[in-house]
Structure 1
C-alpha cells in the first residue's frame, strides 16, 4: 500500500495570479527566478495538474526551466510536500511492536474505543468496536466444518458476541468452562456459546456442569457421557476465543466460586478460562481448584490459533503474563491498550514467553 503525498502551494509574497505572470526572462533562464514566477509554475503543476510542457507553454519558457522552477519553489518553501501514511499504517507498526514485545504471532487492533455516553463505561461500548476485528481474526484461523472452536465466558467475549462476526459454517463451538449461578449473562458459558455459534453459523455444544462442583458431584459429573463428550473435544480444538481476566484480587466483578481470600491468588495477575497465572505466566492454583471443570492451561498452549480479546489498563499486566505463559498467540485490542502493553513489556527485564 502506497503512502499519500500532500502538496501545498503557498502564496508568493507578491500574491500574483498565474494569468498575470510574464514569460521567463533571460535572467530567469540563468537561474534568477522571481517569487511570482516560482509560484505560478508551482500552482500550474501541482494545483492544476498541468504537465511540465503545458507549464512551459503558458510561461513562455522551456521544460528544463520549468523543472528548475519547481525545484527552486520547493527549496524556498513555496511548495511543501508531506508524505502521509495510509490509513492503518501507524496501527500496523504498533501491532507489530506489541507482537514483538510479548511474543505473539499477530496482534489485531480495533479503532479507538468510542467515548461512552453518560452513565455508561467503556465496557458497555467496546463490543461493536472489537467485533469486526475479532471477525477478521477468526476468518484468518482457517476453520473448516467439523473443526472445534473453544469460547470462554467473560464480559469482553459476551459483548463481542452481540455483534456480527464471520461465517464459519459447520464449526463446533464449545465452551471452555462450566457455568455458575451468578445472574450476569457474561458468566453463563452456554449462553455465550449459543451467541457465538449464531454469529458464525456454527453448531453449539453445551456444557451442563457448574464450573466448581463439590467433591461428590465432581466425581459423578466426570462420568456423565454428555459432559465427557465436551471435555474430549477440548484437545481437538483448532482455535480458541478467550477473554483475559484482570488480577483477581483487584476485580470488583468475579465468579463467586473463586476464593478471593485464598493466599495463593495474591500471586495471580490474571486468568484465561478461569485458570489463573502469575506474572511469569505460571499456573496459580487455589483451594478446590483441582475440581474446576475448565480447559487446562497446558492444553491452551497447544491450540494452533489462540485469540485473546482484552481492553483496558487493568488488563495490561494480565495480557503480558498470559502471553508469557503461551496461553494464546494472537491478541485483539484497541490502540490505547496496545500502546500501554508495548511500553510496559519493553520496560520489563525479560519479556520472553515461558510457553514458547
Structure 2
C-alpha cells in the first residue's frame, strides 16, 4: 500500500474534526506545519489557522514547568532577599504594560493550582488582578477545597467585586465558596458593629479568619487606585491615610512601608478580614503588577502577609532597589 493511501485529506475530515486532527499532528506527532499541510492536502496558512482555532477553543493548553520561573537567578534573589518561600518571575518580553500584566496573570493562574492541596481554605481578595487570575485558571478539581471571600462586596462598575472574584476562583476549582454577604464599607461604625454581631455574618467572619492560604494583590494609594474608583474611599480619605504613612492597600486596609496597619476613618466601617488576621498564614500568594505598586508590594512582604510572589523581572528588580 502506497504512502499516499494513508493520508487523509481535508475533504475526508471536516469541521471540528480537522481542527483536532491538526492539533494532534502538531503537538502529539511532532509534525511541522508543512508536513501537516501535505498530510491534509491544505495550505500551510490553513494549518496555522487551524492551530489558532484550536487554541481559541481551549483544545490546547501549553505550560512551561514552574522551575523555569522560580529557580532562575531573579527569582532566587528575590526569595532570599525578602525571606520568601518562593517567587515566580515572568520575563518582561518586548511588549508594553498590557503585555507585562498579561504574562503575570497567566503565570499566577498556571502556578496557583500546584500551590493548593485537598482540604485547604483559600482566602481570596478582590480587584482586577485577582479577577483576571480567576478568568485564566483552567478548570480542575481540588478535593475539599474551600474558597472564602475576604472582603465585603461593593457596587463597583468594573465587574470585579469581591464576591465575583471568590465565586469565580471556587468555580474553576470545583470548590465550596463562602461569600461574605455584607457591603465592604458601611456608612457608620455603629451599623458595621451591629452587622458583625448578626449570627450569619458573625459565622462568615469567623470562617474567613480560619483560612490557611490567601490569594491577593496590593493596591497603591494613588488617586486612580481601585479603592478610590470603586467608591470604598474618597480622595480625602486617601490623603488622610497617606498623611498617616500609608503606602498601600491590602484587602481594603491601609498599610505603611513596614506593612503595619495604618488607622484611619474607614477602619471601623470596613467589613472583612483585619490585617493582623492575614499575617503569617501557611501561604500568602501575592500577585504584583506594575512598578507603581512596588512600594505597596514590598510593604506587604515586610509585613508578613506574603510567602509567595508572582511578578515580572522589571518589578522584581524594582522591589530589590526599593528595599
- TM > 0.5: yes
Aligned equivalent of 2:106: 131
Describe the SS at the equivalent of 1:222. Answer: helix
Aligned equivalent of 2:5: none
Count of matched residue positions in the alignment of Structure 1 and Structure 2: 251
**What CA distance in whole angstroms lies between the structure 1 residues aligned with 2:174 and 2:68?**
29
- Flag the 1:113–1:228 CA change in 2: closer, same or farther, 3 A: farther
Q: Which runs of 5 or more residues in structure 1 are unaligned?
A: 1-86, 346-356
Question: Per-residue deviation at 1:247?
Answer: 2.5
CA RMSD in angstroms comes to 2.5
**What CA distance in whole angstroms lies between the structure 2 residues aligned with 1:154 and 1:209?**
17
Aligned equivalent of 1:331: 309
Find out whether 1:104 has 2:60 as its counterpart. no
Describe the SS at the equivalent of 2:87. Answer: strand
**What CA distance in whole angstroms lies between the structure 1 residues aligned with 2:221 and 2:71?**
27
**What CA distance in whole angstroms lies between the structure 1 residues aligned with 2:197 and 2:156?**
25
- Flag the 1:217–1:319 CA change in 2: closer, same or farther, 3 A: same
Which among 56, 73, 98 is matched to residue 122 of structure 1?
A: 98
Aligned equivalent of 2:293: 315
Q: Which runs of 5 or more residues in structure 2 are unaligned?
A: 1-66
Which among 194, 198, 209 is matched to residue 220 of structure 1?
A: 194
1:255-294 pair list within 5 angstroms: 255-262=230-237, 263-266=240-243, 267-294=245-272
Find out whether 1:156 has 2:132 as its counterpart. no
Question: Per-residue deviation at 1:279?
Answer: 1.2
**What CA distance in whole angstroms lies between the structure 1 residues aligned with 2:113 and 2:263?**
31
- 8 A Cα contact 2:108 2:287, kept in partner: no
Aligned equivalent of 1:25: none
- Flag the 1:252–1:208 CA change in 2: closer, same or farther, 3 A: closer
- 8 A Cα contact 1:265 1:284, kept in partner: no
**What CA distance in whole angstroms lies between the structure 2 residues aligned with 1:198 and 1:90?**
27
Question: Per-residue deviation at 1:192?
Answer: 0.8
Aligned equivalent of 1:181: 155
Q: TM-score, normalised by structure 2?
A: 0.70
**What CA distance in whole angstroms lies between the structure 1 residues aligned with 2:168 and 2:72?**
30
**What CA distance in whole angstroms lies between the structure 2 residues aligned with 1:140 and 1:280?**
26
Which among 149, 167, 171 is matched to residue 198 of structure 1?
A: 171
- Flag the 1:232–1:156 CA change in 2: closer, same or farther, 3 A: same
Structure index of larger Rg = 1
